[in-house]
Amino acid sequence: MEAPMLVLLLSACVSAELPNLTSLRENEPFEKLELHKREAPDNVLPKEDSIEEVNAKSGVADGLFQGDIVLTKLYCQNKACTFVSREQKERIAANMRGARFRRQAFNDKGWPARKWSNGIAYMLYLDDEKTKTAFQKAAKLWMENTCINFTEYKTKPPTDFLYVIGGDDGCKSNVGRNKDPGPQELALGQGCGTIGHAAHEIGHTLGLFHTHTRHDRDDFIKINEKNIKPFWRDQFDVQTTETNNNYDLTYDYGSIMHYAAESDVVSVDRKQPVMEAIDGNYTETLGSDIISFYDLLIMNTLYDCIGKTYDM
* Mean pLDDT, range 102-112, rounded to an integer: 39
Query: Is it the case that residue 285 has pLDDT exceeding 80?
Result: yes
Q: What percent of the chain has pLDDT over 90?
A: 38
What pLDDT is recorded for position 295?
Answer: 95
What pLDDT is recorded for position 74?
Answer: 45
- The reply, when asked if residue 200 is annotated as ligand binding, is yes
* Mean pLDDT, range 40-59, rounded to an integer: 54
The residue that leads in pLDDT, 266 or 147, is 147
What's the angle, vertex CA 238, arms to CA 230 and CA 20, rounded to 5?
Answer: 145
The residue that leads in pLDDT, 296 or 105, is 296
Longest dimension (CA), the chain: 58
34, 201, 262, 276: the active-site residue: 201
- The reply, when asked if residue 197 is annotated as ligand binding, is no
Query: Is it the case that residue 39 has pLDDT exceeding 60?
Result: no
Per CATH, the number for 51-211+295-305 is 3.40.390
Band (281; pLDDT cuts 50, 70, 90): very high
Distances, alpha carbon 223 to alpha carbons 23, 250, 273, in Å? 32, 19, 9
Band (134; pLDDT cuts 50, 70, 90): very high
Report the half-sphere exposure of 132 (CA within 13 A, side-chain side): 10
201 is catalytic: yes
What pLDDT is recorded for position 230?
Answer: 87
- pLDDT digit string, tens, across residues 155-188: 988 778 999 988 877 888 888 888 777 888 999 9
* Mean pLDDT, range 261-275, rounded to an integer: 90
What pLDDT is recorded for position 33?
Answer: 34
Contacts of 240 (CB under 8 A, 6+ apart): 82, 83, 215
- pLDDT digit string, tens, across residues 214-247: 999 999 999 999 999 888 888 888 888 887 888 8
Distances, alpha carbon 46 to alpha carbons 43, 50, 96, in Å? 10, 11, 35
What pLDDT is recorded for position 244?
Answer: 82
Band (150; pLDDT cuts 50, 70, 90): very high
The burial class, CB within 10 Å (0-12 / 13-18 / 19+), for 181 is: exposed
* Mean pLDDT, range 239-262, rounded to an integer: 89
- Extents of the domains making up the chain: 51-211+295-305, 217-285
The residue that leads in pLDDT, 27 or 264, is 264
Average pLDDT taken over every residue of the chain: 73
What pLDDT is recorded for position 9?
Answer: 30
Per-residue exposure over 118-149, b if at least 16 CB sit within 10 Å of its own CB, e if not? eebbbbbebeeeebbbbbbbbbebbbbbbbbb
